[in-house]
Amino acid sequence: MESALEPSVRPRRDPAGALHIQLLGPWNLRATRRRTAELMGELARGSSADARWDLTALTDLDTAGATLLWTSWKQRRPADLRLRPEDERIFELLAAVPIEPPAPAVAIDVTSSLARIGSRTGTLALQTLGLLDLLGQVVLIAARLTRYPARIPLKEISAAVFRNGTQALPITALVGFLIGVVLSYLSAQQLHALGADTLVINLTGFTILRELGPLLAAILNVGRSGSAMTAELGVMRITNELDAMTVLGISPVLRLLLPRIVGQMIALPLVVLWTDGLAILGAMLGAKLQLGISFGTFLHRLPQVVPVVSFWFGVCKGVLFGALIGLIACDFGLRARPDTQGLAAATTRSVVAALTSVLLADALLAIAFANVGLGS
């Protein structure tokens, strides 16, 4: 016998063959929520179009239980239904709810999709053209300065080198050292299991000097210096300082953009060298603690397994990354909308674009120069 505390479905047929379905127990949220799927299955198996439903023996019926029944009835009240008087109101309310037609299949709006793609492609093309235009202005002014060396803004360049290089040394030292330790520890575990302990020098040295050192320095530079340059130029645009400089006959490209880009090209390779050194120090410490390889052995073996070409390849990537970051940061700063939201949006887009450009350039260089500096 079914428990009086549990909802149940009791189908039976009379001598004439008619199907009678009697519901027993409480059909409320508390009783049905744990057995919803089971009860729906019993209702589906025991029902038919001409079934006679008897709900007079229910001990409780609420909206949740009535909704289960209404769903099993395909949102139509059976022709032969016996109810308690107090339950009539629930089914009247359910019957008053309009039956929603099935949702039409979502058609892909090819025209609007193509329009969005075209709009974004056009925006990217305009940004690329603006970047190339700015690069051309910087190159022309730099070429002109070769004829008049006295006009080279040395103070501005040295200030950019100090801000983008010297002030970035503590954070790059910490990150580079920790990356070196982690890389050495992880690779040492695998190499020790293979009995190739000394190969940790090959792996960490080549990875740090050729790839990780330049990438770490560039990524930190984007977040620290690239965003700052965009914000500085954006604020100058908001306060109309750029227009004032132009009115006074002072070239913003000469006094603002060129020093920042050149400073980046000078500072970032030096930061790459600093990051390489601290990362190698961390790798040496990890190899010493994990595998017992002495510092002297590590330093003696390192130039033998890592070609000098790979070292200078990493440093030269620092020059390229510095130029990319400086150019993109300055371009987004000059094109920032003259309001606070525009400045925030320009800074965000500048960081994203610079990071993407650095990673893309690194991937292209890795493919183009895959066979350079791999020999021992």
Q: What is the pLDDT of residues 43-92, one digit of tens each?
A: 877 667 778 888 888 888 888 888 888 888 888 888 788 888 888 888 88
Give domain limits for the chain: 8-96, 127-368
Q: 306: helix, coil or strand?
A: coil
Nearest to 198, CA basis, from 292, 308, 310: 292
pLDDT at 2 over 60: no
Residue 128 banded pLDDT, cuts 50, 70, 90: confident
3-state helix, strand, coil in the chain (%, to 5): 70, 5, 20
pLDDT digits (tens, 9 = 90+) for 132-149: 888 899 999 999 998 888
Q: 352: helix, coil or strand?
A: helix
Cβ atoms of 100 and 127 within 8 Å: the answer is no
CATH architecture of 8-96: 2-Layer Sandwich (3.30)
Q: What's the pTM?
A: 0.66
Q: Phi first, then psi: give them for residue 370, nearest 5 degrees.
A: -65, -30
Q: Residue 58: beta bridge partners?
A: 25
Q: Using alpha carbons, list the distances in angstroms from residue 91 to 33, 40, 87, 100, 104.
A: 20, 18, 7, 17, 28
pLDDT digits (tens, 9 = 90+) for 261-313: 999 999 999 999 999 999 999 999 988 888 888 899 889 889 888 888 989 99
Report the C-alpha dihedral over residues 290, 294, 297, 300, rounded to 10 degrees: 110
Considering the chain, what is the average pLDDT of its residues? 86
State the DSSP H helix or E strand holding residue 233, giving kind and residue range, or none if neither: helix 227-238
pLDDT of residue 263: 94
pLDDT of residue 1: 44
Amino acid letter at 302? L
Could you give the CA distance from residue 185 to residue 205 in angstroms, rounded to a whole number? 13
